[in-house]
Amino acid sequence: MKFSRVAIASIGYVIPEVEITSDWIESELRDVYDRLKLPPGRLEGMSGIASRRIWKDGTRLSNCSIASCQAALEAARFPEALLSEIGCLIHASVCREYLEPATACRVHHHVGLGDQCWVYDVSNACLGIVNGAAQIATLIESGAIRAGLVVGTEDSRGLLRATLEQLRSDPGLTRQSIKPAFASLTIGSGSCAWLLVDREWWLGVGGESQGAGVLGAVARSKTEFHELCQSDTDQAGSGMLPTMQTDSEQLLEAGVQTGSATFFGLLGELGWSVDQVDATICHQVGAAHRRRILEALGVPLSKDFSTFRHTGNTGSVALPTAFAMAIESGFVGTGDRVALLGIGSGVNSVMLGLDYGSVAVKGVGTQSPR
């Protein structure tokens, strides 16, 4: 699909307080490593992830989403008098607080949005926020709304805790059977919100940021691969101590296959060539995934911005936050053609093509990892 009137005006994000290094995780698994004769440094060496962030115990994820939305609105200098013009709020992370109501409800209430706003949750593994952005863009393009917020907060504390306990307590663990748990040890926490607007309306009400024009979106699904990465039953509102089984090697190949189809579909939709793409931001899985997908797309590493080394894989907020950090670092500039390369288990892929102008960004919390 193509868009002519939609822009990402601003981004707000929150960085968790607690840093967890790959070395620390391996120290927690020292007995397991010794028994299986695994070399120290294996986790970082295989993933390229040196550290990740997690929230402090007791952190409520909806509070983080509220902070991200407020940061996005503050970055855009969005007038309080126009909050009623935000016609859609989507909470789009894997993590949520309850089976019902939607986590978006509490976020909507505390951000102070109007009562004519569409308010709901979307969940699609690591693609949630990109999916939500495409839905809001469609509403804006149709003229149904003038602005919308998509936000998510991922909390990896429970997954990390449950995975460590599972590995330490399994006397039958082998070098082969530990592999499906590997991806769980790379997961980090984070929160991010995008404010999307009708460009003409936004400039008409005095919006300061030109935004990044959303030119188009393309989706591809290869659901024959849906069993390659699975969490357990939905535990929203209970202990939130999930476990996850991932066939990392097959998932990598399936992701490359699906992502390649999506990327070349996006180029065709927008009439771009690979050489005309000035910058890419890919889903932040790890070094092997980044290298393989960019090789398959014919995109040099120098054109891609990554954050996973110090943030890990933060699920649905990984790509959105990496885009914010790319803007802050000056990696993207006015007039750049930017491709956002979303890939998620299932296997699904959604990619957006942007005409970058200027996007206001505000990060909250501890200093952003670089």
pLDDT tens digits, 317-359: 999 999 999 999 999 999 999 999 999 876 899 999 999 999 9
**Residue 149 banded pLDDT, cuts 50, 70, 90:** very high
38, with CB counted inside 10 A (0-12, 13-18, 19+), is: middle
Q: Does the pLDDT value for residue 33 go beyond 90?
A: yes
Q: Does the pLDDT value for residue 107 go beyond 90?
A: yes
**Residue 182 banded pLDDT, cuts 50, 70, 90:** confident
pLDDT at 154: 97
Query: DSSP states of 259-276 as a string?
Result: HHHHHHHHHHHHT--GGG
Q: Does the pLDDT value for residue 36 go beyond 80?
A: yes
Q: Which residues pair with 246 in a beta bridge?
A: 229
pLDDT at 251: 61
Q: Does the pLDDT value for residue 223 go beyond 80?
A: no
Q: What is the pTM of this model?
A: 0.92
Runs of H (alpha helix) within 78-197: 103-111, 128-142, 157-168
**What are the φ and ψ backbone dihedral angles of 273, each rounded to 5 degrees?**
-105, 165
Each residue's pLDDT tens digit, 286-310: 998 999 999 999 999 999 999 999 9
Residue with tokens 């005409």: 355
First to last CA, the chain: 34
Each residue's pLDDT tens digit, 205-218: 998 888 999 999 99
More confident residue, 303 or 243: 303
More confident residue, 107 or 249: 107
Concerning whether 100 is annotated as a catalytic residue, the answer is: yes
pLDDT at 254: 80
**Residue 181 banded pLDDT, cuts 50, 70, 90:** confident
Coil, helix or strand at residue 220:
strand
pLDDT at 192: 98
pLDDT at 229: 52
Give mean pLDDT, residues 189-193.
98
Each residue's pLDDT tens digit, 244-276: 555 556 767 787 888 899 999 999 999 999 999
pLDDT at 369: 40
pLDDT over 90 for what percent of the chain? 80
pLDDT at 179: 84
Mean residue pLDDT of the chain comes to 91
**Residue 226 banded pLDDT, cuts 50, 70, 90:** low
Concerning whether 126 is annotated as a catalytic residue, the answer is: yes
Length of the chain: 370
64, 126, 192, 282: the catalytic one is 126
Q: Is-contact 216 337, C-beta < 8 A?
A: no
pLDDT at 224: 67
Reported in sequence order, the residue ranges of the chain that DSSP labels E, i.e. its strands, are 6-15, 18-21, 51-54, 86-91, 118-121, 147-154, 190-198, 211-221, 229-231, 244-246, 279-282, 304-305, 337-344, 348-358, 360-365
Q: Does the pLDDT value for residue 31 go beyond 90?
A: yes
100, 165, 200, 249: the catalytic one is 100
Q: Does the pLDDT value for residue 239 go beyond 60?
A: no
Q: Is 330 left (phi over 0), alpha (psi -120 to 50) or beta?
A: left
pLDDT at 130: 97
Q: Which residues pair with 280 in a beta bridge?
A: 304, 339
Tell me the HSE value of 314 on the side-chain side, using a 13 A CA sphere.
31
Query: DSSP states of 306-334 as a string?
Result: --HHHH-B-GGGHHHHHHHHHHHHT-S-T
Peptide bond into 119 cis (omega under 30): no
Domain annotation for the chain: domains and CATH numbers: 7-204 (3.40.47.10), 212-361 (3.40.47.10)
Report the candidate in 117, 129, 133, 137 with the shortest Cα–Cα distance to residue 6: 137
CA distance 54 to 18: 5
